[in-house]
Amino acid sequence: MELMDEIKRIAVITSGGDAPGMNAAIRSVVRSGINNGLEVFGFMRGYDGLINNDFKKLESHDVSHIIQTGGTILKTARSKEFRTKEGRKKAYANLKASKIEGLIVIGGDGSFAGATLLSKEHNFPVIGIPGTIDNDLYGTDYTIGYDTALNTVVQAVDKIRDTSSSHNRIFFVEVMGREAGFIALRSGIATGAEAILLPEVSGQLEKLKNLVSQRGNQKKSSLIIVAEGEREGNIFDIVKGLHADFPKLDMRVSILGHIQRGGSPSAYDRVTASRLGVAAVDALLNDQRSIMVGIRNNDIVHVPLKKTVKLNKSINRDLLEIVDVLV
């Protein structure tokens, strides 16, 4: 391994679920790298691209007019082969053969788990940029894509409330968050939901039954936000159980699904991605390895990748208290 002050070539990948703002991060990495005299290469489809040696050199013009686009120009995938030691060895061999001296991974906890192993097993500098709509990575207040996803949910739920009010229905709206309720919590507050079901909170079903019981046969609409990982069961089972207890009430289900991943990134996500891209390149140039660049209290921070994988990010208890007051 060459000394990091002599670094000349770096690579960037996007991995795991796509998130609005990933392209802005790619753009930032490429232009920051070029500004520092580096050659920057993009590998396609995440870790699969490393294993298959599918890459191209990225120039400044290659990342023009992408800051406003959703998805990722480098594509993304979840690589089964990279989960094996042999797969990571092949990826490392390809990086070395191309004289690439540092890797920037834009993704979530699964992507960072692979990055941690690659760095540990081959003593290779890897920097993580948090890109996931779930905002569930330890060590950073916000992840790229979270703000845009929240706004997408709010816009959709506002429209659902219109039809809910017109028909006096109870709408159960499922949002993404298989293991974390960050999207559900903030979107629920922002849309004035009557209840919010989160994976992190137990005993919510009984509270929901009480809420529906108090509503009775009143002619009014209600909105319930449900995180997809809610512990009481999937959204259809929850509604089926409630309908058995309250057969006269009109209940409907709406699953927002992958609409939350798409769309033009918000201004906040574009700026956040731009800041983190520059910070990731700076980290490589300053001999950092196996860390994530994140944002805490609006400042750039460095967090060991192994911590982002092993430690869980806690739900904001202050927001939970706000829910108790306002719902």
Residues tagged active-site: 134
Q: What is the DSSP string of 189-205?
A: HHHT-SEEE-TT--SHH
Strands (DSSP E) contained in the chain are 9-14, 39-43, 55-58, 103-107, 126-130, 170-175, 195-197, 222-227, 251-255, 291-296, 299-304
Please give the single-letter amino acid code of residue 162.
D
The C-alpha atoms of residue 130 and residue 109 are separated, in whole angstroms, by 8
Separation CA 101–CA 243 (nearest Å): 59
CB 136 within 8 A of CB 179: yes
Looking at residue 131, what DSSP letter applies?
B
Rounded Cα distance between 70 and 112, Å, is: 21
Rounded to whole angstroms, the Cα distance separating 158 from 310 reads 36
Question: Distance between CA 121 and CA 89 in Å, rounded?
Answer: 8
Give CA–CA dist 308/274, Å, rounded. Answer: 21
Cα 319 from Cα 288, distance rounded (Å): 35
Cα separation of 308 and 172, whole Å?
32
d(CA 40, CA 57): 6
